[in-house]
A and B are shown apart, each in its own frame.
Chain A
């Protein structure tokens, strides 16, 4: 039979010995290997964060994000959060995907993101809230919705609360509805959210 038994193959491309130096040099494969070699190294967070903004290869960028996520400290979380303000939509999306796999860091940073001066960041923060346990994120969203001035942010928060809101959310939804009484979409979304929260509250426990 032609199928063959072979010895172990030679090691694939070795991890660079100086990953910090290689992170911004060489071809994409070397930068990829460098980014992965730095996973979990707190002292490499600044270099990874800088490389993130300069990196043009989507694959290498992904590896940098994963390495920052594996480091999981406050510095790496800050570096990822900064990307939410980028003009580069792909970078923002990758940052969102990464924060979703860092629930502890996300729980820490979410209040600040929900109160950010930039409404676009607040919209993204509402979506991130969906990925935390409801007992953590729902009170934050309730508080935000109570006085959020931007209708798009309200719509994002209402959408999440429709899934995970509780009886405490009803007052925040009503307050939002009163502020934006002229918005047909928000009125509709709030009505749906109220119905879902009401239906959930009446479900038998078990």
Chain B
């Protein structure tokens, strides 16, 4: 891009503030190139001729631009059975403990947030069917949520490329997908129907709270994009969304202990996860 089109330091700061207030994601001068590319894309898509006119459109949310803008900034790079040691831990330890300790015949609720284009919640569904015999006697509700509404639409369609299926065996692909052509596969309708997708902003309790309480939450590789203040808010929202005694799985580079003291560390054979204490601290 020509230098004349580059956004100024002050414009970048205003844009960063805007994005932070709405999503908790932090974009500063160090990510100028990343930001500039996405601003250019959105300016081209909206026909804006200057940053000032684009920013005015964004602030007034003209034509739903806020949603489009946030969508442009999210990262949707994932694949099936990613960090499957946590899926092993789900079926070897976490679910058994939940069934032992929770009261009442409610469905087991599992939340994948952010779910990106659906790989994670569908992986959970497939993993349970493949590796957890009690799946036949329990109702299980899987919810996938993301701030990126385009990603959610793609997740609901359920069409994936070879790269996204790279960790799956040919047997699993044959069992759970229908080939559309040489490069694309659609997940079976039965699996699609077992996951409910919703939009959510993790730092807005008005959006997280209506999702109710879950037995297990997968929240991987998103808190790294937040600053410390937003992480605290997200952690408290996630705490609210966990049933007492429920578990949360983070990405392998993330540690809840560095974010919030609300959770207890649980070391299982296959994974280290975090748990909402079964009782209030007192």
Contacts and interface: CB of A to CB of B under 8 A. Distances in A.
A27 B228 CA distance: 29
Contact of A2 (B140, B198, B205, B239): B140
Contacts, number: 91
B11 to A, nearest CB: 21
Interface stretch (A54-62, A80-88, A170-178): A54-62
A66 to B, nearest CB: 5
B17 interface: no
A72 to B, nearest CB: 9
Interface in A128-171: none
Interface residues of B, number: 42
B141 A4 contact: yes
A4 B140 contact: yes
Interface string A28-69: 110010001000000000000000000011111011001001
A101 B232 CA distance: 9
Interface string B160-193: 0000000000000000000000000000001101
Contact of A12 (B125, B137, B209, B280): B209
Contacts of B135: 2-3
B281 interface: yes
Contacts of B239: 59
A97 B258 CA distance: 10
A57 B232 CA distance: 17
A206 interface: no
A70 interface: yes
A2 B211 contact: no
A10 interface: yes
A162 to B, nearest CB: 22
A204 interface: no
Nearest to B135: A2
B262 A4 contact: no
B12 interface: no
A32 B261 CA distance: 15
B205 A6 contact: no
A62 B128 CA distance: 35
Nearest to A27: B280
A62 B236 contact: yes
A102 interface: yes
A118 interface: no
Contact of A1 (B194, B227, B282): B194
B141 A12 contact: no
A9 interface: yes
Interface of B: 107, 109, 125, 128-129, 135-142, 190-191, 193-196, 198, 205, 209-213, 227-229, 232-233, 236, 239-241, 260-262, 277, 280-282
26 contacts: A1-B194, A2-B137, A3-B128, A3-B190, A3-B194, A4-B107, A6-B141, A6-B196, A9-B109, A9-B210, A9-B211, A11-B210, A12-B210, A12-B240, A28-B281, A28-B282, A36-B240, A56-B282, A60-B280, A62-B260, A62-B261, A63-B236, A66-B233, A101-B227, A101-B228, A101-B229
Given A2-B137, A3-B129, A6-B196, 20 more contacts: A2-B135, A2-B140, A5-B194, A5-B195, A10-B212, A12-B210, A27-B280, A28-B280, A28-B282, A36-B236, A56-B282, A58-B261, A59-B280, A60-B280, A62-B236, A62-B260, A62-B261, A66-B233, A66-B236, A101-B227
